[in-house]
């Protein structure tokens, strides 16, 4: 059994971004192995409180053990962070001092072959579920979805230029034998992309990202969730979000920009009639990226972007 491990990305930058308060209440919506959560509790000692969620049972078990020295100060729920309203109700809180969301896939999930997240998985099953009790798997998508549906997923979630060709070949190959392993999918992808493009890195990466996003519905409701969580912040509270691909980052950026804007009336109108008020101050005018030192130590930090915003009195 692989030990659950995940090196928290931009740990210090996230902690500084949250501007932690000793007696603050914090929400870590993607607790993972508990690395960020541990620092939140450590730096808000002795009165800080943490509410956390994750969809992965292995992550919850690992985080619970990791945070055990702070017993009584944290609660972890098996839940999608997008269901924060229910989680906050269960935890007995209505507003928090800070929110942290880390959208990265953990080292454990990538390295544990049976989870099927990695294009290096070989004969690993086509799974890709964050929540192993969820009914939808990568195998179901690749064997049961139409060619058009698969192409749309690869195009929209993977920004894969050869989405149509890959989808066509998936459908062609599954008529011969059902697709069961990561290796089968990789072979189809490699045979669908011209060799000259294989020099730009692993050609299967975008397609695996796309199918994983579809399996876990990662982008569904993300904009509304970011807006809703910001509105759960106390005045002066902060939200810090780590994204790992452009689709997530664009959604977070759009939500931040919308909440930072004031009146959105037509400028030709003499007075404001929309009543919109600025709700946040964006702390990171440009997203923070990992240092070269961190990138050298943790390769998964290379594509990470950190955006931070503070709730203001409107």
Give the domain range for residue 196.
115-216
Are 170 and 23 in the same domain? no
Q: Are residues 98 and 229 in the same domain?
A: yes
| Residue where a domain terminates, one of 193, 216, 239 | 216
Residue 271 lies in a domain: yes
In this structure, the answer to whether residues 203 and 160 fall within a common structural domain is: yes
The last residue of a domain, from among 163, 185, 216: 216
Could you tell me if 191 and 183 are in contact, meaning their C-beta atoms sit under 8 angstroms apart?
no
Within this chain, do residues 87 and 141 fall inside the same structural domain, yes or no?
no
Q: Do 228 and 212 belong to one domain?
A: no
Per-residue pLDDT of the chain (314 residues; tens, 9 = 90+): 445 556 799 999 999 999 999 999 999 999 988 999 999 999 998 889 999 999 999 889 999 999 999 999 999 999 999 999 999 999 999 999 999 999 987 666 766 777 888 887 688 999 999 998 999 999 999 999 999 999 999 999 999 999 999 999 999 999 999 999 999 999 999 999 998 877 666 899 999 999 999 999 999 999 999 999 999 999 999 999 999 999 999 999 999 999 999 877 777 777 787 777 899 999 999 999 999 999 999 888 999 999 999 999 87
Considering the domain architecture, whether residues 81 and 228 belong to the same structural domain is answered as yes
Examine residue 5 and state whether it is found in any structural domain, yes or no.
Answer: no
1 assigned to some structural domain: no
CATH code where residue 232 lies: 3.40.50.150
Give the number of domains in the chain: 2
Do 143 and 165 lie in one domain? The reply is yes
Residues 87-141: tens digit of each pLDDT = 999 999 999 999 999 998 766 676 677 788 888 768 899 999 999 899 999 999 9
Domain boundary among 152, 185, 216: 216
**Residue 18 sits in the same domain as residue 49:** yes
Residues 168 and 203 in one domain: yes
Domain-embedded: residue 298: yes
Question: pLDDT tens digits for 60-74?
Answer: 999 999 999 999 999
Burial class of residue 35 in the structure, from the number of CB atoms within 10 Å of its CB (0-12 exposed, 13-18 middle, 19+ buried): buried
| pTM greater than 0.75 | yes
CA distance 113 to 72: 35
Query: Average pLDDT of the chain?
Result: 92
Is the Cβ–Cβ distance between 130 and 211 less than 8 Å? no
The CATH number of the domain holding residue 158 is: 1.10.150.170
Residue 297 lies in a domain: yes
Q: In what order do the strands lie in the sheet with 280-282?
A: 74-78, 49-54, 25-28, 96-102, 233-243, 305-311, 280-282
Sign of the Cα pseudo-torsion (126, 128, 132, 133, in order): negative
Residue-level pLDDT at 62:
92
CA distance 202 to 32: 26
- pLDDT at 28 (0 to 100): 97
For the stretch 51-62, pLDDT in tens is 999 999 988 999
Is 202 within the bounds of a domain?
A: yes
For position 118, what pLDDT does the model report? 81
Cis status of the peptide bond prior to 290, with omega within 30 of 0? no
Same domain, 120 and 203: yes
Q: Are residues 137 and 212 in the same domain?
A: yes
Phi and psi angles of residue 182, each rounded to the nearest 5 degrees, phi first: -60, -40
| 46 and 176 belong to one structural domain | no
């Amino acid at each position: 059994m692989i030990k659950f491990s995940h090196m928290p990305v931009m740990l210090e930058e996230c902690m500084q971004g949250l501007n932690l308060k000793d007696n603050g209440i914090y929400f870590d919506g993607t607790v993972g192995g508990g690395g960020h959560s541990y620092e939140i509790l450590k730096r808000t000692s002795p009165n800080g409180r943490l509410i956390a969620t994750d969809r992965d049972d292995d992550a919850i078990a690992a985080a619970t053990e990791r945070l055990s020295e702070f017993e009584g100060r944290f609660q972890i729920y098996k839940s999608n962070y997008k269901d924060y309203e229910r989680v906050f109700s269960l935890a007995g809180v209505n507003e928090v001092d800070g929110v942290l969301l880390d959208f990265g896939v953990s080292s454990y999930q990538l390295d544990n072959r049976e989870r099927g997240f990695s294009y290096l998985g070989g004969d690993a099953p086509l799974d890709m579920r964050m929540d192993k009790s969820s009914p939808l798997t990568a195998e179901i998508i690749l064997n049961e979805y139409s060619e058009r549906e698969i192409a749309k997923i690869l195009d929209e979630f993977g920004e894969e230029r050869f989405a149509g060709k890959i989808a066509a070949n998936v459908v062609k190959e599954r008529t011969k034998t059902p697709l069961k392993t990561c290796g089968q999918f990789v072979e189809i992808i490699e045979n669908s992309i011209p060799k000259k493009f294989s020099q730009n890195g692993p050609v299967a990466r975008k397609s695996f990202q796309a199918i994983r996003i579809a399996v876990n519905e990662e982008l569904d409701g993300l904009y509304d969730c970011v807006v809703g969580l910001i509105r759960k912040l106390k005045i002066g509270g902060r939200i810090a979000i780590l994204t790992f691909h452009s689709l997530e980052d664009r959604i977070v950026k759009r939500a931040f920009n919308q909440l930072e804007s004031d009146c959105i009336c037509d400028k030709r109108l003499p007075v404001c009639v929309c009543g919109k008020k600025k709700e946040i101050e964006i702390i990171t005018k440009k997203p923070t990226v990992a240092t070269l030192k961190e990138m050298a130590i943790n390769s998964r930090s290379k594509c990470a972007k950190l955006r931070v915003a503070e709730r203001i009195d409107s």
